[in-house]
Chain A
Amino acid sequence: MLEETVPLSHYLMLSATLFVIGIVGVLIRRNVIVVFMSIEIMLNAVNISLISFDHYMNLSSGQIFSFMVMCVAAAEVSVGLAIIIALHRNKPTVNLDEFNLLKW
């Protein structure tokens, strides 16, 4: 017989899994856009954790936090994509390994 509700640990596992997938994407992909999308996956994974703790403790501050995360994500995406466009104008590539001007 199945339980009534989903246990908190299942939500936390989903969140951790998505976070690991995001980290792997940031580490192994070299396309700027795909790296950026992996960062979005990580932000979403954190949102799941926040909301599941909210759900299990009957609070609403976690939902406010995930709202703020969405605000920051929107700001980050707009500025980040503008930076990508500016970079692409200077050097027509999206491969992160070729941007090594600031490397020592």
Chain B
Amino acid sequence: MELLIFYPLAGFCVVLALGVVFNNSPVGSALSLIGMMLGLAGIFVLQQAHFIAILQVIIYAGAIMVLFMFVIMLLNLKKGDDMGWVARDKNLLLSVLTGVLAIGILYKISDILFSAKIDTPATLPDSFGTVANIGETLFTDFVLPFEVASILLLAAMVGAVVLAKNKLD
């Protein structure tokens, strides 16, 4: 039953990810990326990681993609700005590199697929992936990384303001 939900969702995500890479207009890419994030949120729900799924929708599909759309509109990007990559210099090197990467990783995938002894899942308690469970781990074992993350976000906020300011005085 889960497989019947998994395959369409996974196919949806892969197709939209390809849409991000091979779309002519940046706005189309951004919209495909939003769709992919929502599909991934569905996959996280399938894995019973509800809290992460909600965060995926709020942070990625909400906040980050709004930022992307905002910058695309601000820079006034036209359709087909950069499709010169087809006839680019040194494109051969990039094609070979991409091919090697893709083949290597596909080989690794088939390795995983045909030798998998890890497919039997642990029995999950009802509390798996809930806010209470994640919060307990976050505020006991991972309290220091949590605080460091808050400092990182503060630094990023200050950095973004300083970088995007018109004149440094």
Contact = CB atoms under 8 A, between A and B. Distances in A.
A72 B6 CA distance: 28
5 contacts: A2-B3, A34-B21, A81-B68, A85-B164, A88-B75
Interface residues of B, number: 86
Contacts of B134: 60, 63-64, 67
B125 A58 contact: yes
Given A64-B138, A66-B52, A77-B64, A2 B156 contact: no
B82 interface: yes
A38 B164 contact: no
B47 A55 contact: yes
Contacts of A48: 40, 43
Contacts of B6: 6, 10
A94 B102 contact: no
B38 to A, nearest CB: 11
A58 B123 CA distance: 7
B52 A8 contact: no
A33 B152 contact: no
Interface in B120-167: 121-125, 128-129, 133-134, 137-138, 141-142, 145, 149, 152-153, 155-157, 159-161, 163-164, 166
B125 to A, nearest CB: 7
Interface of A: 2-14, 16-25, 27-31, 33-34, 36-38, 40-41, 44, 47-48, 51-52, 54-58, 60-61, 63-64, 66-68, 70-79, 81-86, 88-89, 94-95, 97
B81 A56 contact: no
Nearest to A43: B60
Contact of B40 (A22, A47, A97): A47
A48 B84 CA distance: 33
Contacts of B138: 64, 67
B43, B51, B55, B106: which has the most chain A beta carbons within 10 Å? B43
Contacts of B36: 41, 44
Interface string B74-98: 1101000110110010000010011
